[in-house]
């Protein structure tokens, strides 16, 4: 996981540790690091931010004779990465759900086809159930052939009720029904699956906006595939323009050899990562923890 990021950051640490850690030494090494981070799919603005932070932390450091320079440089780089990973807004989902006065808590999921959206909804349903909450899923992807059967199969496997209409029916109406169903039965959470498509067109944007208008969700979550690297930032921005994204779930981190998307996304779109997908099983969903990610990069 994140092998590329790990390799690039660690070679930067080694390089600077061999110098006097002067402004010039740091600048030179940062110049190389910039290209390498871009190659690892870190977004440009995040690269700039990281460079600035590392520079501030390192330049002007008085290195006493006998101190371990590598440790000093590594500490500065780790701190800079942690700062970039830490979002000012932290969402504690369980806390948020439990503190909502009127049930249900509604989450709308958006994302491109193949990003892992449907699997993630099932994983989250499973996680919420394990945390003592009742869940219903709305099959609001009425567009893609097979989508309803797919989400139905997942719902069955994790033991959650699915509300569905037929294909080509109004996705907002399906979501509305799911909310009514939840209200009538005191169900805690409604998870709304939506159509992904392969590109964001006007129709899809209008459909998203309607779903959001009708359901008034407590959260809109963008599900992004970490393997898409830098491209997911652009995807997330497009969705963010159509419907404001409150949080991100990043999937397939287990297969992500680069790490750039994970490092960049929260920073780039201004919404925190809530969970990460780390496998294909229903239990392979973890609440996101910056320290865990830092450990994976440097550990």
Q: Which residues pair with 163 in a beta bridge?
A: 138
182 known member of a binding site:
no
| Range 191-220, binding ligand GDP (CB under 6 A) | 196
> CA-CA distance, 137 to 188, in Å (whole number)?
11
**Which residue, chain included where needed, has tokens 């970490």?**
226
For residue 258, state whether it binds ligand GDP (rule: CB under 6 A): no
Give min distance, CB of 206 to ligand GDP, in A.
20
Judge whether 117 is annotated as a binding position: yes
The yes or no reply on residue 113 touching ligand GDP (CB under 6 A) is yes
Q: Which of 277, 282, 288, 297 binds ligand GDP (CB under 6 A)?
A: 277
Q: Choose the stretch contacting ligand GDP; rule: CB under 6 A; options: 161-169, 249-257, 259-267, 290-298.
A: 249-257
Compute and round to an integer the Cα radius of gyration of the chain.
21
Beta-carbon neighbour count of residue 55 at 10 Å? Answer: 16
41 known ligand binder: no
Do the Cβ atoms of 199 and 146 come closer than 8 Å? no
Question: SS in 3 state form for 144-199?
Answer: CCCHHHHHHHHHHHHCCEEECCCCCCCHHHHHHHHHHHHHHHCCCEEEEEECCCCC
Dist CA 251 CA 122 (whole Å):
13
Determine whether the annotation assigns residue 113 to a binding site.
yes
Question: For ligand GDP, which residue of 104, 116, 247, 272 counts as binding (CB under 6 A)?
Answer: 116
Q: Is 164 in the site for ligand GDP (CB under 6 A)?
A: no
Using the rule CB under 6 A, is 251 a contact of ligand GDP? yes
Which residues is 109 bridged to in the sheet?
A: 221
215 labelled as ligand-binding? no
Q: Nearest distance from residue 285's CB to ligand GDP, in Å? A: 8
d(CA 251, CA 223): 7
Cβ 118 to ligand GDP, closest distance in Å? 3
Binding residues for GTP: 111-118, 193-197, 251-254
Sites of contact with ligand GDP (CB under 6 A): 111, 113-119, 196, 251-252, 254-255, 277-280, 284
Binding residues: 111-118, 193-197, 251-254
């Amino acid at each position: 996981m994140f092998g590329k990021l790990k390799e690039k950051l660690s070679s930067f640490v080694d390089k600077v540790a061999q110098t006097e850690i002067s402004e010039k030494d740091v600048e030179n090494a940062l110049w190389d690091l910039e290209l390498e981070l871009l190659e690892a799919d870190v977004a440009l603005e995040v690269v700039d931010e990281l460079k600035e932070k590392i520079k501030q932390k390192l330049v002007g450091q008085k290195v006493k004779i006998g101190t371990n320079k590598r440790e000093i440089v590594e500490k500065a780089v780790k701190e800079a990465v942690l700062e970039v990973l830490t979002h000012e807004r932290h969402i504690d989902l369980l806390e948020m759900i439990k503190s909502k006065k009127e049930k249900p808590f509604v989450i709308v999921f958006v994302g491109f086809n193949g990003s892992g959206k449907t699997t993630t909804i099932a994983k989250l349903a499973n996680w919420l159930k394990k945390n003592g909450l009742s869940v219903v899923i709305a099959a609001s992807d009425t567009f893609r052939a097979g989508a309803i059967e797919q989400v139905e199969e997942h719902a069955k496997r994790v033991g959650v009720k699915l509300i569905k209409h037929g294909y080509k029916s109004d996705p907002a109406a399906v979501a509305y029904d799911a909310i009514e169903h939840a209200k009538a039965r005191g169900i805690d959470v409604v998870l709304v699956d939506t159509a992904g498509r392969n590109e964001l067109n006007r129709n899809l944007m209008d459909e998203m906006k309607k779903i959001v208008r009708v359901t008034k969700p407590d959260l809109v979550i963008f599900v992004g595939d970490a393997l898409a690297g830098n491209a997911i930032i652009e995807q997330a921005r497009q969705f963010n323009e159509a419907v404001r994204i409150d949080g991100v779930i990043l999937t397939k981190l287990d297969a992500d050899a680069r790490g750039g998307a994970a490092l960049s996304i929260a920073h780039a779109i201004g919404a925190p990562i809530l969970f990460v997908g780390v496998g294909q099983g229903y239990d392979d969903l973890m609440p996101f923890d910056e320290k865990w990610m830092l450990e994976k990069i440097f550990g």
